[in-house]
């Protein structure tokens, strides 16, 4: 799975990157939301974002809201924070592609969260593959129908 770690705490980023790479994930890390969004705008795609909520500049909720307006498919998100946002996150976490993991958390808790997101990622990939196949079939049908119309 391709994962982006977005957290302003350098120690947290390093720890998560090291642990996730050990679990055979492809991982990029970002110090802030703006850095992450710039990389994404340049074409980087991720299956999952580990997104800190409280960061200077653009916070995690603002990053999430920006991602929702993007024409590019929405990755799964696990919000992480040392502050208790459980009640405040209810309206966001009800979405099937978003989870909340309070800091401090252990790697087993993170692995469990990643496993849950894996099911979402697989469903999204199957849906996108089916959508591409439908577009190709539609394109082929259109080109066949144009070929069968005699010129005037």
Q: Is residue 148 part of a domain?
A: no
Q: Please indicate, yes or no, if residue 38 is contained in any of the structural domains.
A: yes
Q: Looking at the domain assignment, is residue 81 inside a domain?
A: yes
Backbone angles phi, psi at 49, to 5 degrees: -120, 125
Q: Domain for residue 133, yes or no? A: no
CATH value at residue 74: 3.40.50.2300
Number of domains in the chain: 1
Q: Per the domain annotation, does 85 fall within a domain? A: yes
In a domain, 8, yes or no: yes
**What tokens were used for 108?**
């087993």
Cβ atoms of 23 and 7 closer than 8 Å: no
**Residue 146 placed within a domain:** no
Domain that holds residue 12: 2-126
Residue with tokens 């080109």: 143
Look at residue 88 in the predicted model and tell me its pLDDT.
57
Q: For residue 147, what pLDDT is reported?
A: 44
**Residue 40: predicted pLDDT:** 92
What pLDDT does 145 receive? 42
Question: Is 150 among the domain residues?
Answer: no
Q: Is 126 helix (H, G, I), strand (E, B) or coil?
A: helix
Q: What is the pLDDT of residue 148?
A: 44
The pTM of the full predicted model, rounded to 2 decimals, is 0.76
Q: What is the model's pLDDT at position 104?
A: 85
Task: Quote the DSSP letter at residue 2.
Answer: E
Residues in the chain, total: 152
CA angle 4, 83, 28 (to 5 degrees): 10
Task: Report the distance separating Cα 58 and Cα 131, nearest Å.
Answer: 33
Q: What is the pLDDT of residue 121?
A: 72
pLDDT digits (tens, 9 = 90+) for 96-117: 567 778 888 889 999 988 888 8
pLDDT of residue 85: 60
| Residue stretches of the chain with pLDDT short of 50 | 132, 143-152
């Amino acid at each position: 799975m391709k994962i982006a770690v977005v957290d302003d705490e350098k120690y947290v980023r390093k720890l998560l990157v090291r642990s996730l790479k050990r679990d055979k994930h492809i991982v990029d890390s970002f110090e802030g939301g703006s850095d992450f969004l710039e990389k994404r705008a340049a074409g980087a795609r991720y299956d999952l974002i580990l997104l800190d909520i409280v960061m200077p500049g653009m916070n995690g909720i603002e990053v999430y809201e920006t991602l929702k307006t993007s024409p590019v498919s929405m990755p799964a998100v696990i919000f992480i924070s040392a502050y208790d946002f459980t009640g405040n996150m209810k309206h966001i976490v009800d979405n099937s592609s978003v989870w909340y993991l309070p800091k401090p958390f252990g790697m087993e808790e993170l692995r469990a969260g990643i496993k849950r997101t894996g099911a979402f990622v697989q469903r999204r990939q199957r849906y996108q593959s089916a959508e591409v196949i439908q577009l190709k079939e539609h394109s082929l049908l259109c080109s066949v129908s144009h070929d069968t119309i005699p010129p005037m």
